[in-house]
Structure 1
Amino acid sequence: MASSTGIVRPAGRPTGPQVEQPAEHDRRDEQDVARRLLDSAARLAYDPAVEVDWETPLDKDFHGASPEWSTLYGTPYWDELTEEQRKELTRQEAASVASTGIWFEMILQQMVLRDIYSKDPTSAEFQWALTEIAEECRHSIMFARGARKLGAPPYRPHRFAFELGRAFKTLAFGEAAYAAILVAEEVLDVMQRDWMRDERVVPFVRTINNIHVVEESRHMKFARDETRKRLAGAGRLRRRIHALVIAIAAYVIVTSMVNREVYANAGLDEKRAVREARTNEHHKAMMRSSCSGLMDFLASAGLLTKPALVFYKRANLI
């Protein structure tokens, strides 16, 4: 078709300004987020094999974590402990948290790999996902070496939690997978920010926590964006089902962080320690404060349903 100026235009093609389709705009935003995360990883990444002091023998004059984060801090039992017993307890607890981190990072890696299996490998989003998995692999090795240096055994979640994790990594998808990833990372982030600044904590653990906090900030950004994106297309029923799945996953993760065997390994009366830890209002308050930002995010995403709240309250996250 010819215009009055003599320029020939293809039939049926609009001649005015092109309007970007919403799907194209969203896709561009996703790639922009992934590119920024890739740039951040290129600028600020660590190799724990060389950054952490693995050679210096463990100095038992230090704690393994900030004492205020101990499950017994604030209890009558804590008041009875010697300073040496308190330090050994926090070292065992820090090792247990690290072991739980390894367990969940293995679940995370499998979920992310499954999610990107059929995606475009040339895209920034695909390449960022592989970068995140590479960082998680390094974190797991770092946590394993750290736990061993703290003089702890290989703590594992109890069998029921372990088997739930096996099912979750196989079946979880979309917002259920990414929001659960976010829960685990957010809970660790707040406590580790305290530990890395605390001069009472053994230096190599402070370095481990600093590395994890810096690199996990990228992972949390990605998990939040992915959760929002997947929820955009979720109906009411799917949202309610996944809200409950995420809450159950959060409960299992949080209640598995400190293995009850840490008390016996620290030379304490295990039964009494477990009993006092379960009723420790100070520790419950610390957990709630660490999750305030996470709960705000879940509420804004419509994931704090009444059934879900039951599990968050039982885990002392709200």
Structure 2
Amino acid sequence: MTSSTSSATEPAEREEIARRLLDSSEALSFDPNTEVDWETPLDTDYHGASPEWSTLYGTAYWNEMTEDQKRELTRQEAASVASTGIWFEMILQQMILRDFYAKDPTDPAFQWALTEIADECRHSIMFARGAAKLRAPAYRPTRIVVELGRAFKTLAFGEAAYAAILVAEEVLDVMQRDWMRDERVVPFVRTVNNIHVVEESRHMKFAREETKERLEGASWVRRQINGVVVAIASYCIVGSMVNKKVYANAGLDTKRAVREAKANEQHKSMLRSSCAGLMEFLDSAGLLTKASTWFYKRANLI
């Protein structure tokens, strides 16, 4: 337990953080309906994502592909990532609503939670329109992952919920920061990524603070259990980002593409580097446990 002095100051600090996030949201938020160029037809001379982030980049198959195939693959992969983002943002919104149900609406943290949900609604619509403009179908996680997500959004609470939110947002953040600066990427996707990166930086700040607060005084057993819960959620999220159907939709041999993607050390290295800061945070919070490490290794996050 913390001292009485610490306990007295923490609510004030939390309130100040929430107020700063609300002020930031008021000063720097975007309307995708007007900020993104939805009208200009898709220019297929551009990629949908930085080629280096493709699951096949650096493989023998990639070297055999035509430039048109490479661009089409990155567009399908970007659409798949967007679809996965929509799926998890819907989980996120339900967890936050449940967490703040019947709490004090005058609390800045309550108001920030609703602001974050509003952001996520706009992001989901933006991702949906973006995927459609990339001429991609509705990519969805496997049935078992969908059902696990259903259970997670219903049962997860406290640090497990907020740390899982952080995982999804951190992985996307690093990836999209590369895409939004890459002039090889189609302009409207770069705009979408810029909007998401700017607004998600506030969400990540909130998720980190909530995770640390919920873990205050938590027992070793609780940290062990929630460490595994977060790791399993991370495994499902990362494993669902690129649907294997993207390969067929890019005109590739699905079996060969899946086989080479699974063995692609270059892509695994990109994922690990993107999660270095996240893993450091989870470790400092006591959530990077021996049991959880197995799942992070399987997801190529460490």
Q: Matches of 2:138 and 2:9 in 1, distance apart? A: 47
Q: Matches of 2:277 and 2:133 in 1, distance apart? A: 33
Q: Of the candidates 156, 175, 178, which is equivalent to residue 159 of structure 2? A: 175
Corresponding position: 1:100 with 2:76: no
For 1:221, the equivalent position in structure 2 comes to 205
Corresponding position: 1:298 with 2:285: no
Corresponding position: 1:262 with 2:217: no
Return the structure number with greater helix share: 2
Q: Which amino acid aligns with 2:146?
A: F
For 1:5, the equivalent position in structure 2 comes to none
**Where does structure 1 lack aligned partners over 5 or more consecutive residues?**
1-18
Corresponding position: 1:248 with 2:232: yes
Cα distance, 1:76 vs. partner? Answer: 0.2
Q: 1:139-159: CA deviations, max 9, x gaps? A: 000000000000000000000
Q: Which amino acid aligns with 1:221?
A: K
Q: Of the candidates 168, 186, 206, which is equivalent to residue 184 of structure 1? A: 168
Compute the TM-score of the two structures, normalised by the length of structure 1.
0.93
Q: 1:236-255: CA deviations, max 9, x gaps? A: 11110000000000000000
Greater Cα radius of gyration, structure 1 or 2: 1
Corresponding position: 1:51 with 2:22: no
Q: Which amino acid aligns with 1:139?
A: H
For 1:114, the equivalent position in structure 2 comes to 98
Cα distance, 1:96 vs. partner? Answer: 0.1
Q: 1:248-280: CA deviations, max 9, x gaps? A: 000000000000000000000000000000000
Cα distance, 1:20 vs. partner? Answer: 7.5
Q: Of the candidates 135, 138, 149, which is equivalent to residue 151 of structure 1? A: 135
For 1:88, the equivalent position in structure 2 comes to 72
Q: Matches of 1:63 and 1:87 in 2, distance apart? A: 5
Q: 1:15-63: CA deviations, max 9, x gaps? A: xxxx974322111111000000000000000000100000000000000
Q: Of the candidates 166, 170, 178, which is equivalent to residue 150 of structure 2? A: 166
Compute the TM-score of the two structures, normalised by the length of structure 2.
0.98
SS of match in other structure, 1:176: helix
Question: Structure 1 residue runs of 4+, over 2 Å off?
Answer: 19-24
Q: Which amino acid aligns with 1:96?
A: S
SS of match in other structure, 1:60: coil
Q: 1:163-203: CA deviations, max 9, x gaps? A: 00000000000000000000000000001000000000000
Q: Matches of 1:97 and 1:28 in 2, distance apart? A: 38
Q: Matches of 1:22 and 1:97 in 2, distance apart? A: 41
Q: Matches of 1:237 and 1:20 in 2, distance apart? A: 25
Q: Matches of 1:136 and 1:28 in 2, distance apart? A: 26
Cα distance, 1:235 vs. partner? Answer: 1.1
For 2:269, the equivalent position in structure 1 comes to 285
Q: 1:278-301: CA deviations, max 9, x gaps? A: 000000000000000001101111
Q: Matches of 1:53 and 1:221 in 2, distance apart? A: 29
